[in-house]
Structures are given as C-alpha cells and as structure tokens.
Structure 1
Amino acid sequence: MKKRNWLLLAAALCAAPLSMAQTGNAKPVRIIVTFAAGGPVDFVARTIAGPMGRALERTVIVENKPGANGAIGASDVMRAEPDGNTLWLTSVGAAAINQSLYDKLPYDMQRDFSPVSLVVDNNEVFVVKAENPAQDATDLIARAKRGKEPLPIGSSGTGSIPHLALAQLESATGAQLLHVPYNGMAPALNDLMGGQVQGVFADVPAVMGHLKGGRLKALGMASQRRHPGLPEVKTFEEQGIRGMDTNNWYGLFVSAKTPAEVIDTLNKAVRQAVADPATHKRLADSGAEPKASTPQELSALLKADTQKWAQLIKARHIKVSQ
C-alpha cells in the first residue's frame, strides 16, 4: 500500500507545473527576438510565450531587439544574469550562418550560449508566379538553361537561407541564375508578383497565404521530405535534383553560464508549450512545423548546420559588407 501511495505521489509531482518560482525567482522571463515585431520569429515567440508562462507559473514576455544581424539581441542575452530569465529565440542565420559571413562577430555560439530547445522547423519552398509556365523545378531549370540570360531569382538578403538555397540549386544543376538580394522577404515577394524576378526561395509560412490564394505556385521543396501543409509539392530530390537541403529552424538559447537544472526546467516548459494542442495548431496553420527537442539535439543540429553552411559559403565566396 505504501509503495502504491509513493507511486501516486511521484506521478502527481511529474504532472505539476514546472515552476522556477519555487526557487524564489519571480521576475518575468524575457524572450529576446532579434527581428522586428510582426515577423515570423516574433510570431513564434508570442505564440509560445503564453503556454510557456503557464508551465513555469511565470510571466513570459517578448522583447524585440532587431539590428546588426542579431548581434544586438545576442549581446543582451550574454550580459543578462544566467538565471534562465533571459532567452534568445533565433533563426538558423544568427546561430549557424553569421560566423561564416562576417569576419568579426561579438558573440560565439559555442562559447557564449547554451541550447534550450528547438521550437519550429521552416523548410524552404521555391515559388514562382501562378502564371509561370514551368510545371515543376526540373522544368524551370530546363527553361533557364535554354535562355540567353541568367534567370533572376530574388532572396531576402545576401547570406540568408533563401540565398543559400539558391546557391545550392546553382551547384546542383549548373543553371545560370542571377541572385537579386532584397532587404527582407516582403519586397522580394512584391517584385516576384510584379515580374521583376522570376522566382524566390522562401520559408513556407511566408508564402502559405499566397499559395493557398492562388497568387503563387510552388515548384519544389528544398528539404528531405514533403511539407505536411503542402503534401502535393514534390521535393527537389524527387525531381532528380540532389543536394537541396535547407532548414531555417528557430531555437531557444540562454547564456552559457546558466545552470543545467534551469535549462532542464526551461526545456520541459518549451516541450509543454509546443505540445499544447492550441499552440501546436496555431504554429502548424502558419506553415511552420512545431518541433521541440532536447538541448543535446539542438546542440548537434547547430554544429552540423554551422559546418554545412560554412562549406557552401566558402565554396561560393559569399560575404557581406560590415
């Protein structure tokens, strides 16, 4: 009987909220977003803030600190007390790509930060205007090779995931493609629909509404599998074009000095938030793929993507001015 009571008590404790307030820490938890309000990273942060707060029995707020390609927000997290109250939600760019693009960065991901959890995956989809005659990516590349001039393809900026996906496509096919960088995805999509460029790689959430509304057409997924929200769109590999593998994931990090037990508490809160049915649906409906992880899994992903993108950036001689 005593053993049964002990098991019931253990089960109740496991089901209890994951409160850091039990340590006397009652300050709000801040999620730093190094992009402007209203963007996709900001959307994900605000979507998980409420359920994370309920799991932690704390107030979780989102602070936008854009600028310097993520360095301003990263520096804020580095300077914060390593008590788990300041988290950085970042895309793969600032975490795994910037160090290969810039000669100098004020932060080092391995030295200055500890991973908490992956939050979402965002694979790249290649889109064109709905009126474009190409039926799929293979057809578009064939048309590009027959053309006399390089095919202009837009991106959200030099060194961005859409740009690197374009570089992968050039390497995989040998097609002549003219990279046209923009200051963000919105102007790139505007010019795509206006006919100034002929295609764009984009995160699925950025173009899901245009695809559903029939304004754009998807020609291929730059990932290892089809997207659950666009099951009819084949991957590039299914179309015979290999080497296309992009993933603009968003992950949460804290100061490297944060105690392991605090990171574990935060990780469990993220897992509860992402698994919450309403939160999961809201993220999935946007086109993102909800996907929490262990800190170790995010660490391995960060290391692998840092190496992968460094090799491509070096091979293609991609640099940005500072």
Structure 2
Amino acid sequence: MNQFFRSAAAALALALAASAGWAQAYPTKAIRLVVPFPAGGPVDQTARELGARLSSSLGQSVIVDNRGGAGGLLGADVVAKAPPDGYVLLLSSAGALAIVPHIVPSMPYDPKKDLAAVTQALKVPAVLVVSANSAFKTFADLKAAATGDASKINYASAGSGTTPHLQAELLKREAKLNITHIPYRGAAPALTDLMGGQVDMMMVDIPVALPLIQSGKLRALAVTNGKRIPVLKDVPTVSELGLPKAEAYNWYGVLAPARTPPEIIGKLYSAVGAALHSPELMKQFEQQGVEVVGSKPEEFAAFIAAESQRWGVLAKAVGARME
C-alpha cells in the first residue's frame, strides 16, 4: 500500500512539473481576444490597442474576435466555454458580467463559476449630457424642470438594462428626479435624437460623448466620477452636486475561462498591466477621460462580485430587461 501511495505521489509530482513547464512556455501560438460587442465601439478600440502591445510583449499574435449580441452575453459565453489554456480571453465591459446575469432568465454561463478574473483594465466614468440647444445650462436647471408631478423630462439610453440606463436610474433615485426612460437600440441613435431635441438628456460613457461635447453638439452637466475629469475640467462631479451615491462607472476587464492555470493568469496579469501603463496608452486614455486600473486578479474578482450586487438590485427594482 505504501508503495502505491509513493508511486501516486511521484506521478502527481511529475504531472505538476509538466504543467508548470507548459505554463512557463505560454504562449506558443496566437491568442484570441473576444470582444462581446461589434467592431468600432470603445471596447473594441481598447481591445485593438491592448492587443497590439500584448502581441509585442508576449511574442504571439493577439487576434480581436468581435462576438456582439445580447448585451455582451454571446461573446462572454464563447470564452466561458473555451478550453482553460489561456488562448481564448475576454475583454468585457460591466454589462455581461454584472448586469446581464440579473435580467436574463436563463443564463448560459455563470460569471462567478465559468470565468476567471485577470485584471480590471479601465474605469470609465459617465457624463450627463443634453443638447447644445437645450434650455438646461446646469444640473440645477435640469433638476428644477424634472422635479414634481408636472415634469415631462425624458432620458435616452442605449437600451433597457445597459449601464447608461442604470446609471440614469441611479441619478434619478438619488436626485429625486421625475424622468421617463426612452430606450434605444444602441448609443448612436439615442445620441442622434438627443442632439436633435427628441429627448432631453442622457447618461453616456465619456469616451463616447467627448467628441460631441468638444465639437459643441452636446453640453455636459455632470460627471459620475469622484473627482473632476481633466478633459472636462469645468464640469462638476455628482459629489459636488450633493449626490455622492450617484457616483458610478462602466469598466473594462480581461478574463479567462475558469480553471486556467494560475501561472498563466499571472503572466497575463503582468503583460496586460505593463501594456496599460505604457506612456502612450496612459496618455491616450487620459485624453479620453478614462482611468487605468490594472488591479490584481483577486481584486478584480471581488470588484465584479460587488458590482454585480449593486447593479443587480437596481436592475430588478426598475424592471430592466433584455430587449
């Protein structure tokens, strides 16, 4: 019996050594970075910038694979079901990980069980915008018009259950606004109608709205960040407006399939962190009003859990649903 256990222990030691050696050699082929949104959007652009730098540091091609649909669910599911070898990764925003699981009756994956956190890449504040032709010059103007039973103020979103929808609902709750939700199929048509005066206001990720603000087509009334954004230095934060609980962010993070070896997770964490903190990307993200994070895997996992709790409660309270 003792001989049996000694043989089993020796076999296990050899297997672990082989696994460690395989992980050290990683990567030996191209890596697929799945983006659960169509090409051209901010998550896709981030993936392509990040992928180019990862290709250089890891010595293998990083191929961006756009798998849009269902609020990020379809792309995340591809990664959740991929082999746990580090060659299929996910770059997702908050929706697929912290919101969609609460508004889809039958989820094909469980973010907690089927995905392994690598790092939170970016923190993306939102900005409250109105048309440049709007009568609302400040948040106080908007609040005065949106308070009381007579309010006819409405707000656009990229769709029910999206991060901008829930950010607006959070602001509505904290500022006690009487505003009506007008969901659209994506941010682009919503912004078009906002600029045209068909809707009154919208919460949107700063990188999406910034060119329209800078070109004079939109007016920014508040940012959801804890401190002022350098590229929008004249725009107050929600905390400055007396609404600290309305502080909220979208965010992007890198994940791998569950059971990916810790050695590979560690190597990816280091590579992604180095890429994010390169002077070129740091400057680019700052100009977009975005903050680089680069958190440790365990920190990102805890952050996802906290965000899921926060947005899940709100999504259910306002009746958000996948359209």
Aligned-pair Cα RMSD in Å: 1.7
Residues 248 and 290 of structure 1, relative CA distance in 2, 3 Å threshold: same
**CA distance in structure 1 between the aligned counterparts of 2:27 and 2:307, rounded to whole angstroms:** 35
1:300 maps to 2:302: yes
**CA distance in structure 2 between the aligned counterparts of 1:293 and 1:164, rounded to whole angstroms:** 24
What is the percentage of aligned positions where both structures have the same residue?
37
> Offset at 1:161?
1.1
Give per-residue Cα distances to partners, 1:12-41, cap 9 Å, x unaligned.
Answer: xxxxxxxx8962642101110011110110
**CA distance in structure 2 between the aligned counterparts of 1:224 and 1:24, rounded to whole angstroms:** 39
Task: Kindly report which structure 2 residues correspond to 1:50-61, keeping only aligned pairs within 5 A, or say none.
Answer: 50-61=52-63
Unaligned stretches of 5+ residues in structure 2: 1-21
| Range with greater deviation from structure 2 (279-288 or 202-211) | 279-288
**Alignment correspondent of 1:200:** 202
**Alignment correspondent of 1:251:** 253
Residues 82 and 170 of structure 1, relative CA distance in 2, 3 Å threshold: same
**CA distance in structure 1 between the aligned counterparts of 2:70 and 2:317, rounded to whole angstroms:** 25
**CA distance in structure 1 between the aligned counterparts of 2:231 and 2:293, rounded to whole angstroms:** 15
**CA distance in structure 2 between the aligned counterparts of 1:24 and 1:269, rounded to whole angstroms:** 12
Q: Which secondary structure state, in structure 2, belongs to the residue aligned with residue 206 of structure 1?
A: helix
Please, what TM-score do these two structures have when normalized by structure 2? 0.89
**Alignment correspondent of 2:6:** none
**Alignment correspondent of 1:37:** 39
**CA distance in structure 2 between the aligned counterparts of 1:21 and 1:49, rounded to whole angstroms:** 20
Give per-residue Cα distances to partners, 1:171-224, cap 9 Å, x unaligned.
Answer: 112221010111111111000011100111000000111111111111011232
Alignment length (residue pairs): 302
Q: Name segments (4+ residues, structure 1) moved above 4 Å.
A: none
Residue identity in the other structure for 1:306:
S
Contact 2:35 2:91 in 1 (8 A): yes
Unaligned stretches of 5+ residues in structure 1: 1-19
1:170 maps to 2:203: no
Contact 2:119 2:253 in 1 (8 A): yes
Q: Which secondary structure state, in structure 2, belongs to the residue aligned with residue 53 of structure 1?
A: helix
| Range with greater deviation from structure 2 (283-292 or 225-234) | 283-292
**Alignment correspondent of 1:12:** none
**CA distance in structure 2 between the aligned counterparts of 1:220 and 1:84, rounded to whole angstroms:** 40
Residues 48 and 195 of structure 1, relative CA distance in 2, 3 Å threshold: same
Residue identity in the other structure for 2:185:
N
**Alignment correspondent of 2:263:** 261
> Offset at 1:48?
0.6
**CA distance in structure 1 between the aligned counterparts of 2:67 and 2:234, rounded to whole angstroms:** 38
> Offset at 1:55?
1.6
Q: Which secondary structure state, in structure 2, belongs to the residue aligned with residue 261 of structure 1?
A: helix
**Alignment correspondent of 2:110:** 108
Residue of structure 2 aligned with 1:154, choices 149, 156, 159: 156
Residue identity in the other structure for 2:194:
L
> Offset at 1:290?
2.2
**CA distance in structure 2 between the aligned counterparts of 1:126 and 1:251, rounded to whole angstroms:** 24
Contact 1:138 1:241 in 2 (8 A): no
**Alignment correspondent of 2:11:** none
Task: Kindly report which structure 2 residues correspond to 1:74-85, keeping only aligned pairs within 5 A, or say none.
Answer: 74-85=76-87
